[in-house]
Amino acid sequence: MSEFVFEAKGLCKSFPGVMALQDVNMKLSAGSIHALLGENGAGKSTLIKIVTGIHKHDAGDVFVDGAQLELHGPRDAISKGIGVVHQERNLIPRFSISENMFLEQLSSHPLRSIDFEILHLKARYWLDMLELDSDPKTPVQKLSVAKMQLVEIAKALSLNSHILFLDEPTASLTPHETKNLFSILRRLRDDGVCMIFVSHKLEEVQEICDQVTVLRDGKNACESRSMLGLDRQDIVRLMIGRSEQIPIWEARDRTNTKPVLELNKASTSIGHRDVNLTVHKGEIVGLYGLVGAGRTELAKSILGKYLVVSGEVLVNGKVATINSVADAVGKYKIGYVSEDRKSEGLVLMHSILENVGMTVWQRLSKGVAFLTNRAIRSQTVPFINKLEVKSPSLEQHVGNLSGGNQQKVSVAKWLAAGVNILIIDEPSVGIDIKTKAYLHELIRELSDEGTAILLITSDMPEMITLADRIVVMNDYLVMGELPNTRDYTEMSEGIMQLIHDAEETAESFVQVTS
């Protein structure tokens, strides 16, 4: 019996043209929470995919409880008690909680009847353990993201996983839900489960992890060392090879400039009521709220995707009727950087040039019948260069770029379109610290040049770094507005207070037990 429940020794993996992992080691002990950190492209996902049997490694060994593990597919990992909760939700939307949990073992044989009562009972046991009070019969599409995640954790545990990989589990959770998740994780740790926690949020890592492995460029920057005595800067140094530079910007007040985008008692077909909101020229207005507060939906209503049923939208002081996204971009110069780069922001199988060029085709083709490559280049390349998109060529498929570079491409697209108002939704989801700081400078710079920016983010530090004013939303209503003093404690308390007041009065709020 080894003292470690899990050990990876000298793992190597190469993909065509890239050495994704080089001689990577990791040791995990029972009853601990182990952080796995690294920038995007450092090899975290590859490591997870290898130990869970999705990718085959080229060299190295994996040991579980001291015994060598042969990995040929996800089943091998599952049977040895290695569970994983992926970053994206992996549930069948219309299936019940219990069916999702026991999906591959619904009954002893594919042609033997399923006893749903027994499934529900078995599910109940694990749900109780995670203090999830939903009925196991509920279809998962009716659950909140946080609950879906708990269902996935329950699913992994029900397979007797004692080694649990959690890939960015808090990425789409609200602070409250995160707190709840952490208390569950701590309890599991005390029960002897070994968890590997992947996150870009270092505050969380410091809060909950006992040990840390950092990857940099596919190699160990540190190997299963104790978190004791490591502060944030030490971790950052391990991750990026230098310390982090947090820009401390002056608080600024742009409310004296011309209002560019105004909502006047706007109500939408999807449930926003009497929303008032003003964004001035050169101002960054932050829109904060819990997941499901209706922020993205408000952005899409401004863009004309959902109907504004009453009230007014004013652009540059004039009433604007925006019936479609084409109107928003073409007539009113409003751009939207989607939170969901992969499905809404970019055409992954097209080149950088085609992606950035998408917004200028219409303008360029006015008058002349067809587009020349040169015309498109002249309109787009300056912006691509300005944002320092790193790629061997402009013909590169966007799908092959890193998350950070993809985000730069989606911003470049709107700069090329020449928008005056830019709505940016969760700009740093899945983006590493170095690129994030760069993006922040970029957003600040854009506003300095006069672009009015509406920033939607659930990342409180990001909000406080960037926004000039913060508007707080809850349940499709604007709760209030705070000028940003850039004092973290003061601001976060103010924001949570606004949301909290609303929650106390709203009984309908989806309660996750704490």
Q: Which two structure tokens, joined as six digits, stand for 298?
A: 């408000």
Name which of 235 and 303 has its Cβ closer to another protein.
Answer: 303
Interacting residue with another protein among 58, 61, 66, 93 (CB under 8 A): 93
Site string for another protein, 153-172 (x = CB under 8 A): --x-----------------
Q: Which residue in this structure is represented by tokens 């710079």? A: 445
Q: Going by C-beta distance under 8 Å and a sequence separation of 6 or more, which residues neighbour residue 98?
A: 116, 119, 120, 122, 123, 124, 136, 137
Instruction: Using CB under 8 A, pick the residue from 99, 177, 262, 354 that binds another protein.
Output: 99
Q: Tell me if 92 contacts another protein by CB under 8 A.
A: yes
Smallest gap, in angstroms, from Cβ of residue 99 to another protein?
Answer: 7
Residue in 144, 278, 359, 428 binding another protein, rule: CB under 8 A: 144
Q: Looking only at residues 242 through 271 of this chain, which bind another protein when binding is defined by CB under 8 A?
A: 270-271
> In whole angstroms, what is the distance from residue 196 CA to residue 217 CA?
19
Contact assessment for residue 90 and residue 152, using Cβ atoms and an 8 Å cutoff = yes
| Tokens 């610290």 belong to residue | 433
Q: Does 430 bind another protein (CB under 8 A)?
A: no
Q: Which range touches another protein (CB under 8 A), out of 7-15, 83-91, 402-410, 499-507? A: 83-91
If the CB atoms of residues 63 and 116 are measured against another protein, the closer one turns out to be: 116
Q: How far is the CB of 278 from another protein (least distance, A)?
A: 23
Q: With beta carbons less than 8 A apart as the criterion, state whether 209 and 35 touch.
A: yes
Give me the least distance between CB of 108 and another protein, in Å please: 9
Q: Which of 2, 107, 321, 385 binds another protein (CB under 8 A)?
A: 107
Q: Which residues of 61-89 are buried (b: 16+ CB within 10 A; e: fewer)?
A: ebbbbeeebebeeeeebbebbbbbbbbee
Angle at 101 between CA 100 and CA 107, to 5 degrees: 90
Applying CB under 8 A, does 106 fall inside the site for another protein? Answer: yes
Please report whether residue 374 would count as binding another protein according to CB under 8 A.
Answer: no
Alpha-carbon distance of 144 to 174, in angstroms, equals 11
Distance CA 316, CA 276 (A): 16
Figure out which of the listed residues 69, 143, 205, 498 binds another protein, where binding follows CB under 8 A.
143
Q: Which residue's CB is nearer to another protein, number 100 or number 435? A: 100
Beta bridge partner(s), residue 470: 286, 482
Stretch of 94-102, 255-263, 397-405, 459-467 lying at the interface with another protein (CB under 8 A):
94-102
354 near another protein, rule: CB under 8 A: no
Q: Which is nearer to another protein, 7 or 426 (CB)?
A: 426
Given the complex with another protein, which of 426 and 432 has the nearer CB atom? Answer: 426
Neighbour-count burial for 431-448, b at 16+ CB within 10 Å, e otherwise:
bbbbbbbbbbebbbebbe
Is 175 a binder of another protein (CB under 8 A)?
A: no
Contacts with another protein: how many residues (CB under 8 A)?
38
Q: State which of positions 266-305 bind another protein (CB under 8 A).
A: 270-271, 291-292, 294-297
Q: Which residues contact 361 (CB under 8 A, 6 or more apart)?
A: 371, 376
Q: Among residues 104 and 250, whose Cβ is nearest to another protein?
A: 104
Q: Please report, for the chain, how many H helices and E strands are present, in that order.
A: 17, 20
SS3 97: helix
**From candidates 112, 242, 366, 374, binder to another protein by CB under 8 A:** 112
- DSSP-assigned letter for residue 399: G
110 binds another protein (CB under 8 A): yes
- Strand (E) or helix (H) holding 472: strand 469-474
Interface residues toward another protein, by CB under 8 A: 54, 74-75, 78, 84, 86, 89-95, 99, 103-104, 106-107, 109-114, 141-145, 155, 270-271, 291-292, 294-297
